[in-house]
Copies of this chain bind each other. A is one copy, B any other.
């Protein structure tokens, strides 16, 4: 059986990563590729790394062009996917890489995005408690934000086990591709190289409510989240540093055992050997999450560090993993188990 797939937003970074993965996915046929302003141009002009698709001409993102596929990936700016999805058949698996359908609470959406909520879809993070069940046979899937992917997996075991108090501080260092191909001065190479800078500080980043939603569900109580993203001079990768006050004195070995157990059997989440700390470079192009946890006895805090590739596990890889689960394919199909390093 061949699964026929369409990608809307094929000329962006998320769309490009998705196509890279789909090209190596056995049993996938790549159908319509669509975009907005670049419709009518060959894909090679925008994604020169996708050599096998270089001559494919990009169509316009319309429900008509996306119809007739088994799976439709929407890698669009937020606010656009609801309407298109409504015009695709209910049997079509629609996977939204944007933000529209991640939040369960319409008021949250309204507060952070200022527009009408398009509804909530099953959340595509299989490694969260109950995550896989939500995805099996789903026909609508909301792919998590890149920051909540790393941060939720970093903190979920500790919250579920009651190791920490529900008051977490997260600083996540991200590569520039997370901002997409936006023509903004601060994203120019000349500005980015050699520079680290914080943005969306003080709880202003739109991924904040998604953190709270995920962590609160795991903890069974509201979780206070202080989140600061930092832009670093690298194209890909998110290094999440998450700390929280210990609920009670805890030995580092106990903390490690909690994480070891939580992620035993997970194909993509790897707790590193004791004493090793993750680097984002080791995850580039892979669907892996590399994790380490310890206890700061003086500060009485748990410290967890997680590395992912924001475009792979944080976006397109997570999307493919969810697709695999929804379609009953092997969960790891088409997903690189090793990173590209150095």
Listed in ascending order, the chain A residues whose CB lies under 8 Å from chain B are 13, 16, 19-20, 23-24, 42, 44-45, 47-54, 167, 169, 171, 173, 175-177, 179, 181, 183-199, 201-203, 208, 224-228, 230, 232-237, 239, 241, 243, 252, 270, 272-273, 276-286, 288, 290, 292, 294-301, 303, 305, 307, 336-342
Contact = CB atoms under 8 A, between A and B. Distances in A.
9 contacts: A47-B341, A49-B282, A50-B339, A51-B337, A54-B270, A173-B196, A193-B234, A201-B277, A203-B299
A278 B196 CA distance: 9
Contacts of A183: 183-185, 188
B226 A299 contact: yes
Given A239-B197, A340-B340, A341-B16, A226 B303 contact: yes
A279 B181 contact: no
A200 to B, nearest CB: 9
A194 B191 contact: no
Nearest to A229: B241
Give the 3 A-B residue pairs with the shortest CB-CB distance, closest first. Answer: A189-B192, A195-B281, A49-B339
Contacts of A187: 188-190
Contacts of A301: 169, 226
A118 B56 CA distance: 46
A189 B340 contact: no
A334 to B, nearest CB: 10
A104 B202 CA distance: 34
A337 B48 contact: no
A337 to B, nearest CB: 5
A301 B230 CA distance: 18
A77 B320 CA distance: 40
A48 B224 contact: no
Contacts of A285: 285, 340
A51 B286 contact: yes
Nearest to A301: B226
Contacts of A19: 338
Contacts of A279: 48, 186, 191, 195-197
A191 B175 CA distance: 12
B290 A338 contact: no
